[in-house]
Amino acid sequence: MNQFEQNLERYADLIVQVGLNIQKDQVLWVNAPISAYEFVRKISVKAYEIGAKNVMVDYYDEELKKIRLEKSTEEGLSSFPTWKAKGQVEMAKENVAVLSLAAPNPSLLKGVDPKRTAILNRVSAEGMKEFNSYISGGKISWLIAAIPTKEWALSVFPSLEEDEAYDKLWANIFYTTRVDRENPVELWKEHIATMTEKANYLNDQDFRKLYYKAPGTDLSIELHPKTKWICAEFTNDKGTKFVPNLPTEEVFTIPVKNGVNGVVTSTKPLNYSGNLLENFTLTFENGKVVDFQAEQGYETLKNLLETDEGASFLGEVALVPHDSPISNTGIVFNNTLYDENASCHIALGNALSICVEDGKSMTEEQLKEIGYNSSITHVDFMIGSAEMDIDGEREDGTILPIFRKGNWAF
């Protein structure tokens, strides 16, 4: 077995053992592009070897999405297969583990009318709302991981030949997920322990406000006493730990919906539904985006903010040190899974009930009372840099440094 194949095997092991932490007799549902079929077979072997009851695979073709957006009637774009959503909810109730494999083409929908894309996104999000509550609440084990496409690789390394760019992107995926080293599963356990220490410190300080300062950013974010900081190791309703993003470097919580004020500027491109948004700025007043600008992707950003009432409020606040494996590559991946783990980020849209004490058992009305934002969308975008300082304010008014020059200050 050559080094590439060995890394690929380790990557599949990491996904099954650490990411999803598949349990004996559990069903695994895989959502993957058709180009990923060989890797999906490896995942299936690994899952069955540790006792999975069944591996079910849903393949999709991104090109068909583009064809639909270009050729379908508006009525056709507005239709959604409710039978499929009901089936997924049924699987969630049976404790299915969900793997979403991303193999993106960042420029796939370039030139497609953003309004038509917005219709499709909104209809899909509404149709999947019940199932997505199992995801956002961490009720079931789920994971997003990525494998390269040549289109994605060329967007990251445009000066290279196609095959060289593809190989280099694989090498960086192996590096950032730590599978190019011995015993990656153990390395991940150590990494999660380190992130957990950071989350515990932030919870011990019981901060009520965060203050962000950086070029183009002057932002304050209010936090509620019932919210908590966590790292990306969740525990599902069966008591099984899982890691929903590979790679991950973040410690995060949720803001008070109406407690965000100031200006924030993106520091990396955002690939949203096949369209790139670059160099955009949002202005918040009492939590809501009241003004925005974008050098690229203005209409796409406008449609995102108009998805529903909650789309123009924040649902997540995440801290990521500038000195971390993904950031240290110096690469802009044009993919949120990677770029959000190279930079502090915030998210427009739905909040995560897993970040609320007893949040899984609270009603929508109870969550609303603590400033929880509800939306059918959740979109992370990157705001961190080596120039960002973040302070935390305790309830008694004491202010402590959290980040200095883009890195942890404690």
**pLDDT at position 273, please?**
79
Domain coordinates of the chain in residue numbers?
Answer: 3-176, 185-408
- Name residue 121's amino acid: N
Cα–Cα distance measured from residue 318 to residue 344, given in angstroms and rounded to the nearest whole number: 6
Residue with tokens 């899952």: 47
Integer angstrom CA distances of residue 357 from 181, 225, 362, 371: 37, 9, 9, 13
Question: According to the CATH classification, is domain 3-176 in 3.40.1830.10?
Answer: yes
**pLDDT at position 110, please?**
85
Question: For 206-234, where are the alpha helices, taking DSSP H only?
Answer: none
Cα–Cα distance measured from residue 393 to residue 395, given in angstroms and rounded to the nearest whole number: 7
Cα–Cα distance measured from residue 245 to residue 201, given in angstroms and rounded to the nearest whole number: 22
Cα dihedral 174, 175, 177, 183, rounded to 10, equals 90
**pLDDT at position 70, please?**
96
Q: With 0-12 CB in 10 A as exposed, 13-18 as middle and 19+ as buried, what is 158?
A: exposed
**pLDDT at position 141, please?**
98
Spatial contact of 52 and 28, defined as CB atoms under 8 Å apart: yes
In this structure, the strands spanning 288-296 and 241-242 are unpaired
**pLDDT at position 136, please?**
86
pLDDT tens for residues 287-338?
999 999 999 999 999 999 999 999 999 999 999 999 999 999 999 999 999 9
**pLDDT at position 137, please?**
87
Spatial contact of 61 and 33, defined as CB atoms under 8 Å apart: yes
Q: Collect the ranges in the chain with pLDDT lower than 50.
A: none
